[in-house]
Amino acid sequence: MVDHYKGSFFGRRVGKPASPRQSQLLQDVMPQVALDLTQTPPENLAELFPVPVKSVCLEIGFGGSEHLIHRARENPEIGFIGCEPFSSGIIKAVSSIEEHGLKNIRLYDDDAGKLLDWLPAASLDMAYQLYPDPWPKKKHWKRRFVNQINLTRIARALKSGCEYRFASDIDTYVDWTLSHCRRHPAFEWSAECASDWRTPWHNWPGTRYERKAHREGRIGRYLTFLRVEETKT
């Protein structure tokens, strides 16, 4: 088991200074959509949203928020929780939420581990982790979010039979994630053929990190794991 490397799953948190308009949006919009972990979470996460939603998904580290916003716009009946500690990502998400009038998104701007611990057990219908920081140097691999402790956190929050999705263009992180998930008793890799992990999920919008990878000659891999109840032997 990899030890929990506290406070180090993400790098810097502050980017370029916010513009006056962005600062105003953060002041006006962020309090409406931000999760407050000092409050007790509702047993039914649908209650976090001001509009009716039939299911709730979590995106861990949404980056520039392209995927988060795309999914929220195409699925107004689904509630989305986006976690991103980097301030520029939060600014982009808040701007898009305001622009499109989205009511089915909630944001958290700190460590995803804290959020996962706050969520009720078996409350999520899906969890995504798309192109996370790969920490490519071997001496930094312990900083990778995917480890046995965090997978247990994800598994606790996911409903049985639901999916944890992971995408990366870094082969060592893909192999790392496969190894950790296949060793974890709560997850089962769903791939049946090569196209299952070479092909993005339905109506995939892509992300800016993915586009950068393609420009630099790297290919994304798309892994889907099912939350299972059986103990592997």
Q: Which residues are catalytic?
A: 133
Task: Quickly list H helices, the chain.
Answer: 20-28, 30-33, 66-74, 87-100, 112-118, 148-157, 171-183, 195-198, 208-215
Phi-psi region of 46 (alpha: psi -120 to 50; beta: other; left: phi over 0): alpha
Q: Are 161 and 226 in contact (CB under 8 A)?
A: yes
The span from the CA of 36 to the CA of 108, in Å, is 8
- Helix or strand or coil: residue 179? helix
Question: What is the amino acid identity at position 22?
Answer: Q
Select from 67, 84, 97 the least CA-distant residue to 209.
67
- Helix or strand or coil: residue 10? coil
What order of strands is seen across the sheet that includes strand 158-168? Answer: 105-108, 78-83, 55-60, 124-130, 158-168, 221-227, 187-189
